[in-house]
Structure 1
């Protein structure tokens, strides 16, 4: 083969390789998204029984970059997140050292500024995506990363989502650490009240869309040395005519002790309630919700039944205290129930909770983007911590108003006003009135 032919072949190979790289990079870049989320949050918690009140105001900036996937049999990409928080005001004595809203300095006062950075690598094969990193935000029946305060909670570990089979989504993974919504540091995983850490939260589950109106769910989760949990769910939406439907949502949790659970450091506080075996997980919880929607009106009623032997459990962060004596902001994990309300959780042993919510969309009244809702929860038959004595009760009423600018220069700018009133009858939560005023805006660079 002469030199001219070799040169031609090499040129073709180089061009092909360079072209393939360009295509791969083009998909990686062209499908990328860069957004800046801004949240201004005022939080007022009035403890009606004389405890420490909390009044704080802060600003958060969240810069998210999400790349596309490179071309080929296996596509690769990356997600990155940068968070900055600024404490604007809190008033002397109105920042309790609980790290539920902003981090605390060594003297217990609110940190004026804090920031963090995280990244997650991702890969895609066919209809299956894998993610490994520390910016994971799962939203699953057995784990919900909360975004109910100034900054979002994020998890570190690995998880996958597969849609290879039509109408079936399979999810699984292992999480090892979490960064709280009021912290720059990550901690290991635990249960409410736990001080020891576990780095093995393994989970798997499936959502099967049986028909266009019916979905069945099953999930399994295990936090090593703390608990094992099974979840079964059913969601059915029955159309009743134009802009009219009836939704049925059934949920069932079965949770049991695992490994060292019950030993010092591995004890579950049972949400401040009774436990047949103190410190251990032993619970079944059944939830039924029914929602009737008619045009702009939506009415939901439901009931939750917690078994007598112990409280409903959910994943938390270990109650870690650092060298300065401050906790690491581990508070704040949501769980998959309507009773995860503004203030109370209504999930103690024996508790029967009846709840309802009415929502109205003002679009039909000519005010697009405005919605309002009012909800009411009443929990009864809560077993006393001692296991004897009169049953306890708790009540909460929540009001929520949301407005999102529908068009114009400020399109997407959102305002949320929430007000909750909680009254407990001998429970571990003091009577509280809570108000939150939140402004959200997200700017998309590309």
Structure 2
């Protein structure tokens, strides 16, 4: 047994309190609490670039089945989770698909050919003592320093061990160690080329108004990263003003970057919610030797911590994460339920970034105009079917093209989840 795995087990046993053993005490059985859910996803993304870069577009149909067993009865419950996914490419030829673009399907780096379909799956075993769960196998973490990317046709996954403890009301503690990453566009369990990543942290809800979380990660031979979040909601009559702070501190290892570069990036968003309306003003700041780098896969120059591991206010198509970049956001969201259209919502945002250090200049600029219309069917045979229509117009100054590229993006996602049992 590895020292990391042993440490996780000790942590779980130490945090499990018999006085708060309701979680496992309420176990109904392996079969009795089992569930099988399926998600059918039809997804299309198109990017029309404006500064000489090749346009990209892909369209595919995917199906993801998720099985989650209950826990056996007794002091320590045992269960199994598993998933299977398949996707077929409907369009994306003529050089518009593959890595460096949308990345629905794997592109052979030698021939440039893109796969026509994609099949993958995985499973994990889980043990529960009190309100603490230890899981080993193919997992899909949802953490600010290791968040599996589900923003494409199929999600990615990581192989390793993770423990989650909820022994104290309002407090969740998490620790994990992973040694393989399965790319969202490839079938191999180790297709991401990840050496290893360790994560640890927790979140605590002090009361209905205030919550906080702290996490840290260590990607072997790549970087060490810390994350902090503070969220506070101030009631104002029947309305609410919410302040949300997110911040990352990153230092690259010498094996990955001889200069051991550092980056700090943070955002502060204030959202005023009144009835069905929400107005947000946000500021984001990046500083240090380099910009914030994240996601993708290590053998292609990326980090290996999940393509969605950037929980910042100004993250849309662009993440406004360039070196020394400062960005402002103004956005508006509305829920049409109060107007007789339950399930229909709309969001529009404008973000402007400046002071980007792109090597040739320290005054690079970018701006994005974002729209998203979403509708979820409320009842009937198609209940829970969700349609998302998203469009972004991104413009980057010519002197910042080494950092980003101008373009127009369209995303159309149709998700239909349903329960088999």
Q: TM-score range by the shorter chain?
A: 0.7 to 0.9
CA distance, structure 2, for counterparts of residue 201 and residue 438 of structure 1: 31
Matched, 1:401 2:373: yes
CA distance, structure 1, for counterparts of residue 307 and residue 32 of structure 2: 36
* Partner residue in 1 for 2:274: 294
| Aligned-residue offset at 1:24 | 11
Kindly tell me: are residues 363 and 315 of structure 1, through their superposed partners in 2, closer, same or farther at Cα, counting changes over 3 Å?
A: same
* Partner residue in 2 for 1:442: 417
Q: Which runs of 5+ in 1 are unaligned?
A: 1-22, 190-196, 264-276, 322-326
Q: Does the CA contact (< 8 Å) of 2:234 and 2:240 recur in 1? A: yes
How do residues 118-133 of structure 1 correspond to structure 2 at under 5 angstroms?
Answer: 118-133=122-137
Residues 33-56 of structure 1: CA deviation (Å, up to 9, x unaligned): 101110011221111223221222
Q: Does the CA contact (< 8 Å) of 1:143 and 1:314 recur in 2? A: no
| Aligned-residue offset at 1:91 | 4.2
* Partner residue in 2 for 1:267: none
* Partner residue in 1 for 2:35: 33
Matched, 1:183 2:170: no
Q: Does the CA contact (< 8 Å) of 2:199 and 2:217 recur in 1? A: yes
299, 315, 318: which is aligned to 2:298? 318
Kindly tell me: are residues 70 and 101 of structure 1, through their superposed partners in 2, closer, same or farther at Cα, counting changes over 3 Å?
A: same
CA distance, structure 2, for counterparts of residue 94 and residue 259 of structure 1: 36
- Partner-residue secondary structure (3-state), 2:72: coil
Cα RMSD, aligned residues only: 2.4
Q: Which runs of 5+ in 2 are unaligned?
A: 1-24
246, 251, 254: which is aligned to 2:249? 254
* Partner residue in 1 for 2:405: 430
Matched, 1:384 2:372: no
Q: Does the CA contact (< 8 Å) of 2:146 and 2:306 recur in 1? A: no
CA distance, structure 2, for counterparts of residue 26 and residue 141 of structure 1: 32
* Partner residue in 2 for 1:283: 263
* Partner residue in 2 for 1:352: 326
Kindly tell me: are residues 92 and 251 of structure 1, through their superposed partners in 2, closer, same or farther at Cα, counting changes over 3 Å?
A: closer
- Partner-residue secondary structure (3-state), 2:244: strand
| Aligned-residue offset at 1:252 | 2.3
How do residues 220-231 of structure 1 correspond to structure 2 at under 5 angstroms?
Answer: 220-231=216-227
| Aligned-residue offset at 1:58 | 0.8
- Partner-residue secondary structure (3-state), 1:228: strand
CA distance, structure 1, for counterparts of residue 85 and residue 410 of structure 2: 24
| Aligned-residue offset at 1:406 | 0.6
Q: TM-score, normalised by structure 2?
A: 0.87
79, 82, 100: which is aligned to 2:81? 79
Q: Does the CA contact (< 8 Å) of 1:97 and 1:109 recur in 2? A: no
- Partner-residue secondary structure (3-state), 1:364: helix
CA distance, structure 2, for counterparts of residue 125 and residue 97 of structure 1: 42
- Partner-residue secondary structure (3-state), 2:414: strand
* Partner residue in 1 for 2:104: 101
Q: Does the CA contact (< 8 Å) of 2:286 and 2:292 recur in 1? A: yes
* Partner residue in 2 for 1:419: 391
Q: TM-score, normalised by structure 1?
A: 0.82
| Count of aligned pairs between the two proteins | 391
| Aligned-residue offset at 1:214 | 0.6
Kindly tell me: are residues 62 and 188 of structure 1, through their superposed partners in 2, closer, same or farther at Cα, counting changes over 3 Å?
A: closer
Q: Does the CA contact (< 8 Å) of 2:147 and 2:307 recur in 1? A: no
CA distance, structure 1, for counterparts of residue 111 and residue 123 of structure 2: 31
* Partner residue in 2 for 1:143: 146
Residues 403-446 of structure 1: CA deviation (Å, up to 9, x unaligned): 00111121111111000111111323221101011111012111
Q: Does the CA contact (< 8 Å) of 1:168 and 1:207 recur in 2? A: yes
Kindly tell me: are residues 314 and 75 of structure 1, through their superposed partners in 2, closer, same or farther at Cα, counting changes over 3 Å?
A: same
Kindly tell me: are residues 419 and 142 of structure 1, through their superposed partners in 2, closer, same or farther at Cα, counting changes over 3 Å?
A: same
91, 94, 105: which is aligned to 1:92? 94
Kindly tell me: are residues 237 and 42 of structure 1, through their superposed partners in 2, closer, same or farther at Cα, counting changes over 3 Å?
A: same
